[in-house]
Amino acid sequence: QVQVVESGGGLVQAGGSLRLSCRAFGLTSDDYVMGWFRQAPGKEREGVVCIAWSGISQYYADLVKGRFTISRDNYKNTLYLHMNSLQPEDTAMYYCAFDYTHRCSGNHRDFGIWGQGTQVTVSA
């Protein structure tokens, strides 16, 4: 059974940077997507980024384009989220998501496997 484990959250001042990591364990196929979602208190979980491991599909939310990028370590089945120019409105719990599919999505209902989440707090 696939599990994903996040790390890397924390407290940062506005304009700062953080890198989140998500490692997947127990994979049985290379045909999958991994993504990052975030959820602020009182708000719905929203998609941030997604990548298909085959490379044929990616998704970036408009709010993070130009500030957030993704990279990956294929050997470690790890997805990294590089967050730059962070703003207080980026404050949220960030969740890694996984599913066996070849198409990315920004809809959390399309993902079946989730990590525990890691808190990102950006102070003004």
Given a contact cutoff of 8 angstroms between Cβ atoms, the answer to whether 78 and 21 are in contact is yes
Q: Which residues contact 121 (CB under 8 A, 6 or more apart)?
A: 10, 11, 12, 91
Bridge partners of residue 13, in order along the sequence? 123
Average pLDDT per block of 10 residues along the chain, 124 residues long:
95 98 93 95 95 86 93 92 96 97 91 97 97
Residue 93 half-sphere exposure, CB side, CA atoms within 13 Å? Answer: 12
pLDDT for the residue 55: 76
pLDDT for the residue 50: 95
